[in-house]
């Protein structure tokens, strides 16, 4: 069974602080994909990253970085030097089917508030 | 880039009425579309997979007779909430991958907020 756990329901930090959002996943498959999405107050989902299970390299994109560790089934997301515009709900997600009807299973989300 | 639209963006209806929500892929074709429901401060829950030209596949616990899905063309899927009740009030989001493209590269619509009085 697939499952994504985001234990942090809400996080609030002061602007310019670094913040890490945790994500732990469960799957029986050896081939799977992990995602992070951002949902600002407007509601529209913004895709941030996708990672496949065979690529454990960490990734950095500007102030964003991701740490994928298969040994702990975690795919954590770090925002460096946070900004008020980073305030949103962030979802970690998992898909372990690669077909014409792939399903993406979302975690419960972490609401991030950046205070000025 | 690929754009998915939803109409309406917001709808308020009386209990017992039916509401239709449209999901359109504006600049690409989609043989598959996904419908999600998101209750306030909760996650997106997959409701069903809409398949062009065939029946939708519903997730466990989702009433197919209450949430009617029609995928009549390669650019349009509709979700009809029949006999809506206040507990159906939610944010409904659709997504779609490009037909023949990467099925995991899904483009999400902006969502439709349904309020049932």
- If you search the block for the tokens 């989609």, which residue do you land on? B30
* Number of Cβ within a 10 Å radius of residue A62: 8
Q: Is B110:B23 a contact under the CB 8 Å cutoff? A: no
Element (H, E) at B93: strand B90-97
Inter-chain CB proximity B49 and A111 less than 8 Å: no
* Number of Cβ within a 10 Å radius of residue A111: 15
3-state DSSP call for residue B88? helix
- Report CA-CA distances (Å) from A104 to A36, A79, B107: 11, 23, 12
The residues pairing with B22 across neighbouring beta strands, listed in sequence order, are B7, B78
Dump pLDDT digits (tens) for B31-75: 999 999 998 888 999 999 999 988 999 999 999 999 999 998 999
Instruction: Note the pLDDT of residue A57.
Output: 86
Dump pLDDT digits (tens) for A53-74: 998 888 899 999 999 999 999 9
DSSP notation for A13-53: EETT--EEE--EEE-S-SS-EEEEEEE-TT---EEEEEEET
Instruction: Note the pLDDT of residue B25.
Output: 95
Inter-chain CB proximity B42 and A108 less than 8 Å: yes
Inter-chain CB proximity B91 and A111 less than 8 Å: no
Instruction: Note the pLDDT of residue A100.
Output: 44
- If you search the block for the tokens 């942090």, which residue do you land on? A8
Inter-chain CB proximity A103 and B43 less than 8 Å: no
Residues 72-111 of chain B whose Cβ lies under 8 A from any Cβ of chain A:
91, 93, 95, 97, 103-106, 108-111
Dump pLDDT digits (tens) for A10-28: 999 999 999 999 999 999 8
Residues 9-38 of chain B whose Cβ lies under 8 A from any Cβ of chain A:
31-32, 34
**Exposed/middle/buried for residue A96 (C-beta within 10 Å: 0-12, 13-18, 19+):** buried
């Amino acid at each position: 069974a697939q499952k994504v756990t985001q234990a942090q329901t809400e996080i609030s930090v002061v602007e310019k602080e670094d913040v890490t959002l945790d994500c732990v996943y469960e799957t029986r498959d050896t081939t799977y994909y992990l995602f992070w999405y951002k949902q600002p107050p407007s509601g529209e989902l913004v895709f941030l990253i996708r990672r496949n299970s065979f690529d454990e390299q960490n990734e950095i994109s500007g102030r964003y970085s991701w740490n994928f560790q298969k040994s702990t089934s975690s795919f954590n997301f770090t925002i460096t030097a946070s900004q008020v515009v980073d305030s949103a709900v962030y979802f970690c997600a998992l898909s372990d089917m690669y077909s014409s009807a792939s399903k993406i299973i979302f975690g419960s989300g972490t609401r991030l508030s950046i205070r000025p | 880039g690929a754009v998915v639209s939803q109409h309406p963006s917001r709808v308020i209806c009386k209990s017992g009425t039916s509401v239709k929500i449209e999901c359109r892929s504006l600049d690409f074709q989609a043989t598959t579309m996904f419908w999600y429901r998101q209750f306030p401060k909760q996650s997106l829950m997959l409701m069903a997979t809409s398949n062009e030209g065939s029946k939708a596949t519903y997730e466990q616990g989702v009433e197919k007779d209450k949430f009617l899905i029609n995928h009549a063309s390669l650019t349009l899927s509709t979700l009809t909430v029949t006999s809506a009740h206040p507990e159906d009030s939610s944010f409904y989001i659709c997504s779609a991958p490009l037909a023949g493209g990467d099925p995991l590269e899904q483009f999400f619509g902006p969502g439709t907020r349904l309020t049932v009085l």
